[in-house]
Amino acid sequence: MAFGADELRVLRRALAVALHPAPLPDEDVQECLRLAGAVDEAVGEAGRLRAFLLADLARYRDALPGSVAGYLELLQDALAGGYDPRPDDLAALRALRHRPVAAALLERCQVLAERSVRARLAGRVASATAPAPRSRLLALPGGRGADTGGTGAEPEQPKVPRTPPRPAAPSERPAPKPSEVFPPRRRPAPPPRQRAAG
């Protein structure tokens, strides 16, 4: 993205105002807004061109090996624009490694793919090990601080109503005596005596 002389003048003035805030005339405000609109339009156009380039690259890759020259040229343009090579690109370049340009692109793409994988893994590890953001503790209204005029004393613990103890269930009958549980043993009656006939 290149700026013209007028655009650079507006950009310089906007940066100066950002560093040293001061009221701007309406004309300067309108110029800054026009410049911001032009930048947004250029960014959008760059995104559309990138999407078109990547779609064209996929079409040339699907048409291999007949579209070798066009594919290699488009891949170089995409890499210059920050494109991360995909596994399909690496597979296509391995099939074309007998060509010097494809072999050089294969080495470059392998380095970029490995760097991209390491960056993704580092991002996952960082997000997994990063401590959760601590929530800020806020004082709730009421409590001892409200009664003492906010002296910073610890808030009084809320009183929990106690439930009355349950009355013991009355026993239906008193505990049995040992003699009732284990009655005394009775002696067996002696066998009747037989009288001898006289």
Cα(95)–Cα(93) distance, integer angstroms: 5
Query: What is the DSSP track for 20-79?
Result: S-----HHHHHHHHHHHHHHHHHHHHHHHHHHHHHHHHHHHHHTTTTTHHHHHHHHHHHH
Residues 54 and 77 in one domain: no
Give a yes or no: residue 14 inside a domain.
yes
Report how far apart, in Å, the C-alpha atoms of 195 and of each of 119, 163, 182 are.
120, 81, 39
**pLDDT digits over 80-90, tens only?**
988 999 999 99
For 116, the domain range is 68-127
Q: Are residues 55 and 105 in the same domain?
A: no
Q: How many domains does the chain have?
A: 2
**Is residue 54 domain-shared with residue 96, that is, in the same domain?**
no
Tens-place pLDDT, residues 25-59 = 888 888 888 888 888 888 888 889 889 899 999 99
* Separation between Cα atoms, residue 50 and residue 81, nearest integer Å: 8
Lowest-pLDDT range of 34-38, 136-140, 188-192, 193-197: 136-140
Q: Are 72 and 101 in contact (CB under 8 A)?
A: yes
